[in-house]
Amino acid sequence: MTKAIQQTATFRASPEVLYELYMNSKKHSAATGAPARLSRKVGGRFTAHGGALNGRNLLLVPGKMIVQSWRSTMFKKGDPDSILVLRFTKKPGGARVDMVHSNVPAYDHAGVRNGWPHYYWQRWAAYLKKNKNA
């Protein structure tokens, strides 16, 4: 088993805005620049980045936490799903996202680890700067 990927990112937005940026299909797509469809129900399915990522919602606490089973098209058929946990907390001047992504296969570990800042944190920051009322 590989080491869990842990990252923290801070933004000038509330935890609720960040939660919606991930869970709202339209906002997720706009912020990342790639099509996404997310169910807002526990047990519901999601796809992101034009189907390159998919999985199910395991736990949703609006404005606070998202837990998903998660896999990319890079995963081999026999690989188990990885588990993604996003926790949103209020901080002075904005909010913080604490991410833990576990059970990512070794051959895709670097791609996933480097993908979060590139495809999410940097793009979220640019989206939020451009869309002040996100």
3-state secondary structure of 112: helix
**Nearest alpha-carbon partner for 70 in 58, 82, 52:** 82
pLDDT of residue 132: 78
pLDDT of residue 21: 97
Backbone φ and ψ for 94, nearest 5 degrees, come out as: 165, -140
**Distance between CA atoms of residues 67 and 40, nearest Å:** 12
Find the mean pLDDT for residues 106-132: 95
- Mean pLDDT score of the chain, rounded to an integer? 96
Does residue 133 carry a pLDDT above 70? no
Does residue 118 carry a pLDDT above 80? yes
Integer angstrom CA distances of residue 41 from 45, 58, 76:
8, 9, 27
**Distance between CA atoms of residues 27 and 49, nearest Å:** 13
- Asked if residues 105 and 75 have their Cβ atoms less than 8 Å apart, the reply is yes
pLDDT of residue 112: 95
Number of domains present in the structure of the chain = 1
Question: CATH code at 60?
Answer: 3.30.530.20
Range of the domain at 20: 5-130
**Distance between CA atoms of residues 45 and 9, nearest Å:** 25
Does residue 134 carry a pLDDT above 70? no
Integer angstrom CA distances of residue 115 from 32, 78, 118, 123:
11, 22, 5, 11
Does residue 1 carry a pLDDT above 90? no
